[in-house]
A and B are shown apart, each in its own frame.
Chain A
Amino acid sequence: MMPELHVSIGRDVMMGLAQAVAAIVLCAAVVALCRWQAVRVEREAAISMARGLVQMVFVGMVLAVLLHGSLMVGSLILLAMMVAAAFTASRRLRGMSGALLLCFWAIAAGAGTVIAAMLATRSLQADIAILVPVGSMIIANAMNACAQAAERFRAEILAHVGQIEAGLSLGAEPAVTVAPYLQSAVYASLLPRLDMLKSLGLVWIPGVMAGMMVSGASPVYAAIYQFVIVAMILAASGITGLVATVLMRSRVFSSAAQLVLRPTEVSTSS
């Protein structure tokens, strides 16, 4: 394994770092441009970029070591990614107890089901070199859908406390009173994925396709496979958004059908 690692820390790594520096300089310029319009993202952008670079270098090194490891190892990597994704998504739900676990179940239900289905139908190879990058795309999108659906659902509930309590006061089931907000939250979380599908090939060609063609697959097959991946991303996001909001719904009401998520609660706990 070690020689393999050595080979990959070669001239191409130096070149990669130089490219990373160029990318950072460009982003810094954009941040400066934002600042000119009083949009302050310097701190956030600096932290995000530093984290992104360090994490990707680390992933590259791990992949170099494990390139052809077993399905077991690949699954563990994906599981770790789902945990990290749950941490990130749950930050949007600060102040809500059990948010981390809620996000984990939602992401695991969406990404896990879809990845397992793809493995079972052999539309995804167990080889780590493919499983991890494709799996991570699905997990990242599930994370995004989870955060968006949960955040939107909470905001809609807080904006409609009066309507919800009017419904409860007329003897409605809690689920009925928030149904429109659950729908719009899940729909909103799917929009970016729907746009992705629409723009596929027109403004966006996923990176995996280039890799497949380099390793000898026919362009037509590679293209169709890209579609499959993006469609699976949509499926995973849909499951994740639904599970996240349904789990949330059961937590915003007490067992006596009282709305317990209230604006005051947010301001005192966040």
Chain B
Amino acid sequence: MLETRNLSRRVGPRLLVQEINIQVSAGEILAVVGPSGAGKSSFLRLLNRLDEPTAGTVLLKSTDYHSIVPRELRRRVGMVMQTAFLFPGTVAANISFGPRQRREAMASARITALLERVGLSGFADRDVGHLSGGEAQRVAVARTLANDPEVLLLDEPTSALDESSVRGVEELVQGVVRERRVACVIVTHNREQAARLADRTMVLKAGRMVRIGATGEVLHDA
């Protein structure tokens, strides 16, 4: 589904990401772990082309992503960040944002179903200003799912949440990945989270991939 080829990014003299080659298949969760400043976020941002690779590329279903229009690419490769960054307005308006960009109306039944899926039934008309951190992050996930992505990128999606909301978001991600068979890459600094969610784990250090393999083995050896 998703494949990187020598994917690299250099800013001035700094090599943020160096020659990374990985593959993620449909329905699989790959965790990216590593110390702070290792380049985990920088790597993830290359996958939906929020930043430009200075070398190498990404293949989406075997197609070089440089040949896909950025808007279409980002619909297919959804991303949820550390903080939700919701748009001012209602929960429903946030959820239908993606389809609206393609002039597609989103049936309210679909919004209702999505909200139910992320455990926020009845939240459609709420103002996003009054949501808790965990609720906001669920809306962010639902907003990304409204685009029917093939790949789901998550950058420390639970690090800003309190303990009680973490498991809820994790179960949501896990369920959605299995149901919709999306390829998922999740950045986390939390080894237990990687162990709970990921099929495989890769370790980044100073922009380089130093290890990749089954989560149990990688975390056991490290």
Please determine whether A254 and B87 come into contact, CB atoms closer than 8 angstroms: no
Question: In the complex, which residues of chain B have a beta carbon less than 8 angstroms from the beta carbon of A258?
Answer: 49-52, 70
- Chain B interface bracket (under 10, 10 to 19, 20 to 34, 35 or more): 20 to 34
Identify which of residues 20-71 in chain B touch chain A, using a CB-to-CB cut-off of 8 Å.
48-52, 70-71
In A237-270, the 8 Å CB interface with B consists of: 254, 256-259
Cβ-neighbour of B102 out of A167, A168, A171, A254 (below 8 A)? A171
**Residue B74 CB within 8 A of the other chain:** yes
Q: Could you say which interface size class chain A belongs to?
A: 10 to 19
Q: What B residues does A172 contact at CB under 8 A?
A: 71, 97-98, 101
Which chain A residue lies CB-closest to B84? Answer: A166
Nearest B residue to A254, CB-CB:
B52
Name which residue of chain A comes closest to B76, CB basis: A171
**A-B contacts at CB below 8 angstroms, number:** 63
A168 to B74, CA, bound (A): 7
Q: Are A170 and B143 neighbours in the complex by a CB distance under 8 Å?
A: yes
Residues from chain B with a CB closer than 8 A to the CB of A254 are 52
* Residues of A close to B172: CB separation below 8 A: none
- Contact between A173 and B50, CB atoms less than 8 A apart: no
Out of B49, B52, B72, B98, name the residue touching A170 (CB < 8 Å).
Answer: B98
Q: With an 8 A cutoff between CB atoms, is A183 at the interface?
A: no
**For residue B70, which residue of chain A has the nearest CB?**
A257
- Residue from A162, A256, A258, A259 with most neighbouring chain B CB atoms (10 Å): A256
A163-B85, A163-B87, A166-B85 are contacts. A171–B71 as well, Cβ < 8 Å? yes
A171 lies within 8 A of B75 (CB): yes
Residues of B within 8 A of A22 (CB): none
A171, B101: Cα distance in complex, Å: 7
B79 at the interface (CB under 8 A from A): yes
Return A199 CB to nearest CB of chain B, in Å.
32
> Is B81 positioned at the interface, with any CB of A under 8 Å from its CB?
yes
- Report if B78 contacts A (CB, 8 A): yes
Q: Kindly list chain B residues whose C-beta atoms are within 8 Å of the C-beta of A166.
A: 81, 84-87, 140
Residues of B within 8 A of A169 (CB): 48, 50, 74, 78-79, 81, 144
Determine whether A176 belongs to the interface, using a CB cutoff of 8 Å to chain B.
yes
Residues 194-222 of chain B, each 1 if its beta carbon lies under 8 Å from chain A, else 0: 00000000000000000000000000000
B7–chain A nearest beta-carbon distance, Å: 15
On chain B, the residues within 8 Å of A167 by CB distance are: 87, 97
* Complex Cα spacing A163 to B71, Å: 16
List the A side residues contacting B49 at CB < 8 Å. 256, 258
Cβ distance A251 to chain B, nearest Cβ, rounded Å: 16
Contact of A256 among B52, B81, B85, B101 (CB under 8 A): B52
Q: How far is the CA of A258 from the CA of B72 in the complex (A)?
A: 14
Contact B74 A176 (CB under 8 A): no
Task: Pick the 8 closest A-B CB pairs, nearest first.
Answer: A171-B75, A166-B85, A162-B85, A257-B70, A169-B79, A170-B98, A171-B71, A171-B74
11 cross-chain CB contacts under 8 A? A162-B81, A163-B85, A165-B81, A166-B140, A167-B97, A170-B97, A170-B101, A170-B147, A171-B72, A171-B101, A256-B52
A residues contacting B by CB (< 8 A) are 162-163, 165-173, 176, 254, 256-259
